[in-house]
Structures are given as structure tokens and as C-alpha cells.
Structure 1
Amino acid sequence: MAVLEILPLAFVMIAGPQILSAVFLATSENWRRNSAAFVTGSAVSISLLVTVAYFLGSGANSQGTSNDTLLGVVLVLLLVAMVNTYRTREESEPPKWMGKLEKATPKFSFRLGFLLLGFFPTDIFTSVAVGSYLAGNDLPWTDFIPFILLTLLFLALPSLILLAFGNRAETFLPKARDWMNANSWVVNEIVLLFFIAMTLNNLFG
């Protein structure tokens, strides 16, 4: 059951610039090597974060301190972020580095996967949440493996679609990329809603 509870967080890991980057790389010149490097870099950073959170969480559990105040602060910050995302939806622009993805190299793609999945705020929060959850429930570290495999599958999906459907995918993926680029604020709102639901569940569940 624990695995089923953390699996939905794989969606949170890739929602936003993460999946958008995967789509961009799948439409790049050297898409096979770039996509593989991006997924590999992501796997390394996610594994490191979850592992650190797991072992730190195992030590912190013995203290038995309450975190209701912290959760309340997090909830307020999430609500503020959600309102701000909606208010600035017309002004939102993709990061400048996304313009480099169509001519990316495998080295750049690996570094992007490592940094984006390891240092993007929502991904840090999610990886730490997974590691802490497993540690807090005295579950084995290996229970995070299905979570990371599903996350990596999502990230590899654009290139897998390209492999499976060929020319049809070459027409579809750029359209999907442009739509996601134009509606990135919607994805951000969905992610924030998910975190708000998680926080409320931790507070009152």
C-alpha cells in the first residue's frame, strides 16, 4: 500500500518544465542520446535526494517533534503561490534556457536532467516527501524504486512515442510542446493544488 500512496507523486515530479524539457529534447537534432542523457541525469539526482531524505528522516523520527506549525506555514505559502500564478498567467514566459534545447548536446541534457529534477523547488519537496514518508513509516528504502521508475517512464514518454509512431509523432510532439509552453500556468496550478491537498491531509488526516 505504501508504494501506491507515493506513486501519484511521480506526476508531480514531471509536471511543469520537466516534461516540457523532455518534449523539447525529443524534438531536438540528436534526440535519442539527448533523451537518454536527460533521463539518466534525472535518475541520479532523484535517487540522491530520496536517499538523503530517507536516512535523515530515520534519525529525526526518534525526536517525535510536531510539525503542525510548519505545515500551516507551507499551506499559506502554497495558497499565495497559487494566487500569484493565476494573476501572472498572461505574463509567464518559458525559461531562456529552453531555447537551447533544440540544439542540445547529451552533456547538456544530462546536466539539465540532474539539475531540473534535483534542484527544482517542487521536485526537492516531492523527493524529500517520499524519503521522509518511507522513513517515517519504517519502510525499506527500496520501496522508492517503483516511484522513480514511473517518474523516469514519464520523462522518457516523448521519445518512446517518437520511437513507436515515427512520422506521426514528429507532427504531434511539436504541437504538444507549443500547447504546454503556452499553458504552463495551468500545469503549475495543478501541481500546487496537489501539494495543498497533501498538506491539508497531513494537517487534518
Structure 2
Amino acid sequence: MGEILPYAVGVAVSPVPIIAVILMLLAPQAGGASRGFLLGWVAGIVLASSICVILANTIGLTPAGGASGGVSWIKLLLGVVLLVLAVKKWRTRDDAEMPAWMKAIDKVTPAKAAVLGLLLSAVNPKNLVLCVAAGIAIAQGGHQVLLVVVFTVIAACTVAIPVIAYAVAADRMRGPLDGLKTWLEQNNATVMCVLLLVFGVVLIGKAL
């Protein structure tokens, strides 16, 4: 479990999905769209991590399979990929602007919000790399279903907490959510660059 916690936190603190769900909560159709996004976000994390665990078990990336060398090489490759993404993000930090889909997110339907959540969690390169790393780590031990659940709960908490808090106290949450959205929009590139750099180094260090 200690092995997967950093990867789960890495997925959880992704700025883009947090900004997306906050924009949905501040939109007219706040309830349905935000719940749809949360559903898609959780489904994407479960899908990506579960597939990685199944593949790791299938090709023998487990202690029983004796593939510790292969696991190390995969972690090294994943770490390098994250470092490349960090460099790319840093170089384009001044050119970063809100994507077109974010500008129209206040009109998104619950179904489209669910699809968006699925794509941001399962297809996003940074999250996908972390899910692969977590899947390999989970395959190294027992209680794999439990570990997938724990990974998903932690990874999804930063999207789930605003949705739940808004459902409980919508009026009180508008101010804090708007402030958090503004801060994340201003510091999105820096936060992403630091995350990619840190987890890239962590994976390379584990591989070595």
C-alpha cells in the first residue's frame, strides 16, 4: 500500500480535473454535470489501474514471475516519460491558456461530463503513466482488489470532495471554489511541472 500512495496522490492533485469540476459546480447545471464528471473520473481510474494490474499479472510482472528486472526497466521508462513531459510543460508554461472545452464547460450535459471525466483520468498521459506504475506495484503483492479500491479512493478524492461539499452546502462553497479555481488557473503549469518532475525522479530512483 505504501508503494501506491505516491501515485494515487499524483493523480489526485492534477489541476485540470479540479478546475473542470469547479467550473461545473459554478455553472447553472452544477449538480448533474459535476456528478457525471465524478462518475467518469472514478470509472477512468478504476479502468486504467485494473487493466494495468491484469496485464502485469498476465505477462508475469510479479514476484512469482521472477520479472523484477523487467519491472525496473518499465519504471525507468515511465520515469523518463514523466521527465520529458515536465520539460515540455515548463517550456510552454507562458503560453498556457484555458482549453476551448473549458470555456464551454458551463453548458456541458451530465453525459458529456462523464465522458470528459473518463478521458481526463484514463487517457491523460500523466495520469496514465501513474496508473501504469500503480498497477505494476499492485501486481507485486496480494489483496489486489483492495489496493485498486484504495488507489481509486485516494486518486479521486480531490474531485469527489468539492462535489460532495457543494451538495451539502452550495452557498458556502461558491466563494472558496471560485478562489481555488483562480489560483489553479494561474499556477496550473507550475504545479503540473513540479508533479511531473517529482514523480519522474521517484520512478527512476525506484528503477535504479
Q: Give yes or no for contact 1:43–1:152 (8 Å, CA) kept in 2.
A: yes
The match for 1:19 is 18
Q: Give yes or no for contact 1:18–1:155 (8 Å, CA) kept in 2.
A: yes
TM-score after normalising by structure 1: 0.86
The match for 1:116 is 120
The match for 2:89 is 85
Q: Which runs of 5+ in 2 are unaligned?
A: none
Q: 1:118 to 1:84 in 2, by over 3 A?
A: closer
Q: Give yes or no for contact 1:22–1:156 (8 Å, CA) kept in 2.
A: no
| Structure 1 residue 83 displacement after superposition | 3.1
The match for 2:163 is 159
The match for 1:131 is 135
1:19 and 1:122 mapped to 2: Cα distance? 15
Q: Give yes or no for contact 1:42–1:110 (8 Å, CA) kept in 2.
A: yes
1:52 and 1:80 mapped to 2: Cα distance? 24
User: Aligned pair count?
Assistant: 202
1:111 and 1:80 mapped to 2: Cα distance? 27
1:41 and 1:84 mapped to 2: Cα distance? 27
The match for 2:8 is 10
- Structure 1 residue matching 2:94: 3-state secondary structure: coil
The match for 1:44 is 43
Q: 1:112 to 1:90 in 2, by over 3 A?
A: same
Q: 1:50 to 1:8 in 2, by over 3 A?
A: same
Q: Could you list the per-position Cα deviations for residues 156-185 of structure 1 after superposition, in whole angstroms to 9, with x for gaps in the alignment?
A: 222233234432321221222122112111
Q: 1:34 to 1:186 in 2, by over 3 A?
A: same
The match for 1:60 is 59
The match for 2:182 is 178
Q: Could you list the per-position Cα deviations for residues 121-142 of structure 1 after superposition, in whole angstroms to 9, with x for gaps in the alignment?
A: 1111122222211112344233
Deviates more, 1:9-18 or 1:91-100: 9-18
| Structure 1 residue 76 displacement after superposition | 4.1
1:161 and 1:23 mapped to 2: Cα distance? 11
| Structure 1 residue 73 displacement after superposition | 4.6
Deviates more, 1:48-57 or 1:157-166: 157-166
Q: Give yes or no for contact 1:35–1:156 (8 Å, CA) kept in 2.
A: no
Q: Which runs of 5+ in 1 are unaligned?
A: none
TM-score after normalising by structure 2: 0.85
1:94 and 1:80 mapped to 2: Cα distance? 22
Q: 1:58 to 1:77 in 2, by over 3 A?
A: closer
Q: 1:173 to 1:80 in 2, by over 3 A?
A: same
The match for 2:108 is 104
1:24 and 1:50 mapped to 2: Cα distance? 27
RMSD: 2.2
The match for 1:198 is 202
Q: Give yes or no for contact 1:28–1:104 (8 Å, CA) kept in 2.
A: no
